[in-house]
Amino acid sequence: CWEPGDAARCFDKQYEHKGRCCNRCQPGQKLVSECNVTEDSVCIGCESGHYQQSWTKERHCAPHDICENNAGLIVKTQGNATHNTVCQCQAGTHCSDTSCQTCVENQPCQRGFGFVAAKAVARISSPCEPCAEGTFSNVTSKTEPCHPWTSCEEKGLVVKAKGTNTSDVICELGRRSSLSVLIPITAAVITCLVGICIYCLVHT
């Protein structure tokens, strides 16, 4: 630590103490003793289950949040010395309010609406969202998202009936595809019939 003469000249990662600029403790640590004429600030790491995410002069680290199973919460990201634990609601539930201390059961998303997991995790009360153009949901569900329409082209088919927000696209063989199947079959049948006729003529 050093004496700048003017405490306002302390750097961002320092703080004023008795006219001196003492170094703050780095993230993941807490202050044990402040600097003096002969020694710099003394810091130690946060104890287990606690964290400090910024440069600090605090003597205590903050405890990690506890994801209470009884409240319907589970751990999304485990906390460490520099970050708090992040909780989220169990599948099929969402936060009861913006503080997300408890979870409530999802109401089923009706046909034409899909469950959006990110909305439930983001602490939005209604995790259902209308299916966008090109997607559909034909079930009432608490967990099913909207699904994309089937791509007929990828299967070498053509669209027979366009999809809606509650139904998938219906595909069918195109005219050329139908002919490409029928012609070989017809040719095979004719060949067999000709063969049978020739056989009969030879053996009569």
Domain-embedded: residue 155: no
Q: Output the six-digit token pair for 184.
A: 């070989």
Quick one: pLDDT at residue 91? 81
- Three-state SS across 17-55? ECCEEEECECCCEEEEECCCCCCCCEEEECCCCEECCCC
59 and 73 assigned to the same domain: no
- At 6 the pLDDT is 46
Let me know if residue 74 belongs to a domain. yes
Per the CB < 8 A criterion, the answer to whether 20 and 10 are in contact is no
Let me know whether 68 and 86 are in one domain: yes
Gap between the Cα atoms of 78 and 196, Å rounded: 78
Distance, CA of 88 to CA of 47 (rounded, Å): 24
59, part of any domain: yes
Show pLDDT as tens, one digit a residue, over the chain (204 residues): 544 444 458 999 999 998 899 999 999 999 999 999 899 999 999 999 999 999 999 999 999 999 999 999 999 999 999 999 999 888 878 888 878 889 888 888 999 999 887 776 655 556 789 999 999 999 999 889 999 999 999 999 999 999 999 999 999 998 655 555 556 677 777 777 777 777 777 776
Q: Are residues 55 and 72 in the same domain?
A: no
pTM of the model: 0.58
**Residue with the two structure tokens 């090109």:** 134
Residue 80 falls within a domain, yes or no?
yes
Burial of 80 (C-beta count, 10 Å sphere; 0-12/13-18/19+): middle
User: Which residues span the domain enclosing 27?
Assistant: 7-63
Residue 149 contacts residue 134 (beta carbons within 8 Å): yes
Percent of all residues in the chain with a pLDDT value above 90, rounded to a whole number: 59
